[in-house]
Amino acid sequence: MEYLGGMGISNQKLGVIGRGAFIEEIWERLDEKSIYVNDLRRIGKTKVLEKMAEEGHPDWVVVHRDLEGHSTAAEFATAVYTMSGNSLGGGAKALRTMGKLLGKASGTEIPGVLKLPEGRIVPWKDVLRRTFADVAEAVEEQGKRFVFLWDEVPFMLGKIEASEGAATAMEVLDVIRELTQTHHGVRVLLTGSVGLHHVLTGLQKKGYRGTPLNHMDRMAPGPLEAGDGSRLAISLMTQFGVEPAPGSSLKGIAAGASALVGHVPFYLRGLISKLRKRQVDEAMIEAELVQQITDPDDPWDLSHYLRRLGDYYGDDEPIARSALDILAIHRKGIMFEELKNEIRAKVSSDDEQIRQVIKLLLRDHYLSKMQDGLHVFRLEVVRRWWCFERNIQSIEA
């Protein structure tokens, strides 16, 4: 682990500067409900979960797992069983009813799924229900509660749907809801860069009528506060040997760099790391940002924001793309009526279609709606890249 010269800040801690209040709020809300965290990719969701798992909490047993790699319900259930036993101590022995079910085969995974002594795969619903019951009993005896921190749940559900069908993906959601409502000593915190609402929309078109998120609080970490962004920028400048040029101040350079990337840690690190061992001023910071967002190799994978429209907006992709084109032009934002009229001039659509697409773009964090009703790009760095990629000239006034 690399430490910053004279500052005592590790790379691990750099990733969670400014997230203390958000994590504290998570713990407070977990007292009442499970939580669903959705925000832009690379905004810092995984870092928050890693910090929660690393630091723990005196009243909670915490386990963190990225679920993206699981493609069947049985693999998911087995992972839940395994991570539960490991986190409680004593491994599988801590899970009593599961141990009785598995007998001498307790803990066996061949390959990645639990099997009974006669070789049959244990039904995944049984695994989940018995594991949750065992976990609830174990933590009650310890005077604690238990929380699963599950990362990239929408990706896993998409894989389950692809490999086992929509019905199984629906059942997984319903069982998770059932178990978190039944066992009050056990909570789940789900995250996803792809909004779970996209998965639900697809499943609803295939007959799903469940409401798995209605019992959960919704949270989004968002970018850092400006002061925390500046503090992170100063730490990164120290790490990479970046100094202010004569006539510039460290605080001024740091504040400017953080503001340019919307106070998003991933982009801030990417920007400052390219200026290592140099003396820089505001103009050099701006020039490097332009270099990053116009680089044909797309080092920050900003094309994701355009590419995903085709994956998740279906027939409404032209409306979404036109809305983003228009809002990229209007840097300071426009009201819905003007946006609607401009979209209709470009794409055949009705008011309700446009309204629903704009609502989805807001839920996907492409856009923000200001208190005065103006719609704007949520991140200026994404808006600037969109202008470049789409050959759009923005209105600065």
Dist CA 144 CA 225 (whole Å): 33
The pLDDT of residue 346:
94
Structural contact between residues 276 and 241, judged by C-beta atoms closer than 8 angstroms = yes
Q: Which of 210, 216, 168 is closest to 192 using CA atoms?
A: 216
Stretch 305-330: mean pLDDT = 93
Dist CA 233 CA 230 (whole Å): 5
The pLDDT of residue 270:
95
Residue with the larger pLDDT of the pair 6 and 291: 291
In which band, very low, low, confident or very high, does the pLDDT at 14 lie, cut at 50, 70 and 90?
Answer: low
pTM for this model (two decimals): 0.85
The pLDDT of residue 8:
39
The pLDDT of residue 91:
54
Dist CA 114 CA 121 (whole Å): 6
CATH fold label, 304-390: Arc Repressor Mutant, subunit A (1.10.10)
CATH of 19-219, one of 2.60.120.620, 3.40.309.10, 3.40.50.2020, 3.40.50.300: 3.40.50.300
Per domain, the residue ranges of the chain are 19-219, 226-294, 304-390
Report residue 67: phi and psi, to 5°.
-95, 0
Dist CA 147 CA 200 (whole Å): 23
Instruction: Map residue 376 onto helix, strand or coil.
Output: strand
Q: Work out the number of other CB atoms within 10 angstroms of the CB of residue 211.
A: 11
Angle at 77 between CA 50 and CA 42, to 5 degrees: 30
Structural contact between residues 312 and 366, judged by C-beta atoms closer than 8 angstroms = no
Q: Work out the number of other CB atoms within 10 angstroms of the CB of residue 289.
A: 20
Residue with tokens 């050099």: 284
Mean pLDDT, all residues of the chain: 88
Q: Which of 397, 396, 322 is closest to 366 using CA atoms?
A: 322
Angle at 171 between CA 167 and CA 172, to 5 degrees: 120
Q: Which of 149, 192, 151 is closest to 364 using CA atoms?
A: 192
